[in-house]
């Protein structure tokens, strides 16, 4: 959604990632638990790819899930927590614009037929674009931290995308910049490319450059996914973007189309037969265009569909809120065709698969990273419980086996009291592990509030009601 539209940026985005990404990124330092990184055993109802285990156990060692069972593992010195909650994989958000989410929601004065229209709307410029541009150079690090916190309080453990900057070390995993997956052996070479805009049809040279670079990414085995914001609108201009991509042979298994609002069965069949996936962002689409992707047709054609909020400016505040919206859309417009399990998969396993990180995260199974979300809810309906959950219901979030956020009671089992920062989330307080966050949230909030005040703008709320 960001306001970037010329070929220079597209070229920069790709070439920077291709040529410099390897060298620019700092090594992600794992925070050390105050209790010596002991093994962890979590008890709770566990949502696994093979079904739900009622009151089971997850053993976590060295950041990874070692065992998932209905029997308690025999491990000496483990920190054992009976969460009495339901445990899911951490949510994987593959469509967001993290630093923008410091700004309050924007209510468009009209509906548009493509994204280039609202980006040029004076109301958008005044309310969103200009304030953002006034902040970004001096406050990117704080803006990213705040955006990551907004995601984290909604259960997200991985997010795409942010901007490249050394200060971004990943409270949640930034999938395009310092995901933490590639450690020291691959020196933070990220495997995902995120492209914001296809150059317009009026600039064939830029389009050709784009196509050449996209082919390089597709042919390079180091890259696992090429996300492109495409066909965001309802008009012929939006549909032509897809037609162009298709005509250039760029539909391929690494390809992920974000939006795809005007696509119909024939386009989805072409995507499915080439292994190209779709990211569905219904709330932002409805707010801006009054229409969203025909997700039913996409699924019928066999396209993999992930769900993500786009951004909080016109979409959802976090993944849980987008789940609420999709659930409501499903009931009202899809005849309840999507099952609860399908909706949960759309924010966990499927985004991990289409991003090529399902060998690392997105499911609870031995060998994967311990990126986990624990909520309170109805154990008899574990999938529905996540769809119905609010940020207040989150008991614990672990990333890489590190409990980074949750209820003070749970977090106190892992951290000293002085390591925990109290964060107001709606009407309740949660605890953030300062050694994991590597920032003081209160300081981030103060700096952003002061900077925004100058422009007469308030800081966006952490969760939205």
Q: Closest separation between CB of residue 97 and Zn ion, Å? A: 6
Question: Do 346 and 322 meet the contact criterion of CB atoms below 8 Å apart?
Answer: no
C-beta closer to Zn ion: residue 326 or 397: 326
Tokens 């704080």 sit at which residue? 142
Q: Closest separation between CB of residue 316 and Zn ion, Å? A: 12
Structure tokens at 200: 């317009």
Q: Closest separation between CB of residue 101 and Zn ion, Å? A: 12
Closest CA to 57 of 262, 422, 364, 358: 364
Q: Closest separation between CB of residue 215 and Zn ion, Å? A: 24
Give the pairing type, strands 372-375 and 79-89: antiparallel
Question: Do 311 and 1 meet the contact criterion of CB atoms below 8 Å apart?
Answer: yes
C-beta closer to Zn ion: residue 1 or 228: 1
Q: Which residues bind Zn ion (CB under 5 A)?
A: 1, 310
Question: What Å distances lie between residue 161 and 30, 415, 429, CA to CA?
Answer: 21, 30, 28
Q: 10 Å Cβ neighbour count for 23?
A: 9
Q: Distance between CA atoms of 442 and 100, rounded to whole angstroms? A: 19
Structure tokens at 149: 């916190």
Question: Do 97 and 310 meet the contact criterion of CB atoms below 8 Å apart?
Answer: yes
Q: Closest separation between CB of residue 86 and Zn ion, Å? A: 30
Q: Closest separation between CB of residue 72 and Zn ion, Å? A: 44
C-beta closer to Zn ion: residue 310 or 360: 310
Bridge partners of residue 60, in order along the sequence: 40, 65
C-beta closer to Zn ion: residue 279 or 389: 279
Structure tokens at 440: 């003081």
C-beta closer to Zn ion: residue 78 or 125: 125
C-beta closer to Zn ion: residue 286 or 413: 286
Q: Closest separation between CB of residue 95 and Zn ion, Å? A: 6
Q: Is 226 left (phi over 0), alpha (psi -120 to 50) or beta?
A: beta
C-beta closer to Zn ion: residue 148 or 310: 310
**The residue count for the chain:** 465
Tokens 């491990």 sit at which residue? 75
Q: Closest separation between CB of residue 255 and Zn ion, Å? A: 16
Q: Closest separation between CB of residue 213 and Zn ion, Å? A: 20
C-beta closer to Zn ion: residue 61 or 322: 322
C-beta closer to Zn ion: residue 91 or 308: 308
C-beta closer to Zn ion: residue 156 or 390: 156
Q: Closest separation between CB of residue 343 and Zn ion, Å? A: 20
C-beta closer to Zn ion: residue 91 or 160: 160
Q: What are the strands, taking DSSP E only, across 40-185?
A: 40-48, 51-61, 64-69, 79-89, 91-93, 156-159, 173-174
C-beta closer to Zn ion: residue 289 or 414: 289
Query: 309: which residues sit within 8 A by CB, 6+ positions away?
Result: 93, 95, 96, 281, 283, 284, 315, 316, 317, 318, 319, 321, 322
**How does DSSP assign 404-425, residue by residue?**
EEE-HHHHTTTS-GGGEEEEEE
Q: Closest separation between CB of residue 408 and Zn ion, Å? A: 35
Closest CA to 188 of 369, 419, 20: 20
In this chain, which residue has its C-beta nearest to Zn ion? 1
Angle at 140 between CA 134 and CA 142, to 5 degrees: 110
Q: Closest separation between CB of residue 102 and Zn ion, Å? A: 16
Question: What Å distances lie between residue 39 and 74, 84, 403, CA to CA?
Answer: 11, 19, 12
Q: HSE-up of 43 (CA within 13 Å, CB side)?
A: 11
């Amino acid at each position: 959604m960001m306001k970037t539209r010329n070929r220079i940026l597209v070229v920069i985005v790709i070439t920077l990632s291709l040529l410099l990404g390897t060298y620019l990124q700092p090594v992600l330092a794992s925070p050390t638990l105050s209790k010596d990184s002991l093994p962890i055993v979590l008890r709770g109802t566990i949502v696994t790819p093979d079904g739900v285990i009622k009151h089971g156990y997850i053993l976590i060692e060295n950041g990874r899930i070692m065992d998932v069972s209905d029997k308690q593992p025999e491990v000496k010195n483990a920190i054992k927590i009976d969460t009495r909650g339901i445990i899911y994989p951490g949510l994987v958000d593959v469509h967001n614009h993290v630093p923008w989410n410091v700004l309050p929601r924007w209510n468009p004065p009209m509906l548009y037929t493509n994204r280039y229209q609202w980006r040029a709307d004076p109301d958008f410029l005044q309310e969103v674009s200009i304030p953002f541009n006034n902040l970004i150079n001096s406050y990117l690090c704080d803006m990213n931290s705040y955006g990551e916190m907004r995601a984290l309080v909604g259960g997200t453990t991985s997010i795409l995308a942010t901007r490249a900057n050394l200060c971004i070390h990943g409270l949640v995993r930034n999938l395009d910049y310092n995901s933490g997956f590639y450690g020291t052996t691959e020196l933070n070479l990220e495997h995902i490319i995120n492209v914001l805009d296809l150059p317009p049809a009026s600039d064939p040279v830029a389009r050709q450059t784009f196509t050449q670079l996209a082919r390089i990414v597709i042919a390079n085995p180091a890259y696992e996914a090429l996300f492109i914001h495409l066909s965001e609108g309802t008009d012929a201009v939006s549909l032509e973007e897809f037609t162009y991509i298709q005509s250039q042979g760029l539909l391929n298994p690494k390809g992920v189309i974000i939006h795809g609002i005007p696509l119909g069965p024939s386009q989805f069949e072409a995507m499915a037969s080439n292994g190209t996936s779709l990211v569905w962002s219904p709330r932002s689409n409805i707010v801006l265009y009054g229409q969203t992707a025909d997700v039913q047709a996409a699924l019928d054609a066999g396209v993999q569909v992930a769900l993500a909020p786009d951004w909080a400016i016109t979409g959802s505040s976090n993944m849980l809120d987008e789940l609420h919206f999709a659930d409501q859309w499903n009931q009202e417009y899809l005849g309840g065709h999507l099952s609860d399990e399908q909706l949960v998969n759309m924010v966990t396993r499927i985004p991990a698969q289409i991003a090529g990180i399902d060998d690392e995260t997105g499911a609870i199974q031995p060998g994967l990273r311990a990126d986990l979300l624990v909520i309170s809810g109805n154990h008899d309906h574990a999938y529905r419980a996540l769809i119905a959950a609010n940020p207040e219901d989150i008991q614990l979030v672990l990333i890489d086996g590190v409990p980074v956020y949750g209820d003070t009671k749970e977090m106190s089992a892992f951290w000293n009291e002085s390591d925990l920062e109290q964060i107001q989330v709606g009407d309740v307080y949660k605890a953030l592990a300062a050694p994991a966050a590597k920032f003081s949230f209160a300081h981030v909030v103060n700096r952003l509030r002061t900077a925004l005040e100058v422009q007469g703008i308030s800081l966006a709320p952490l969760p939205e009601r």
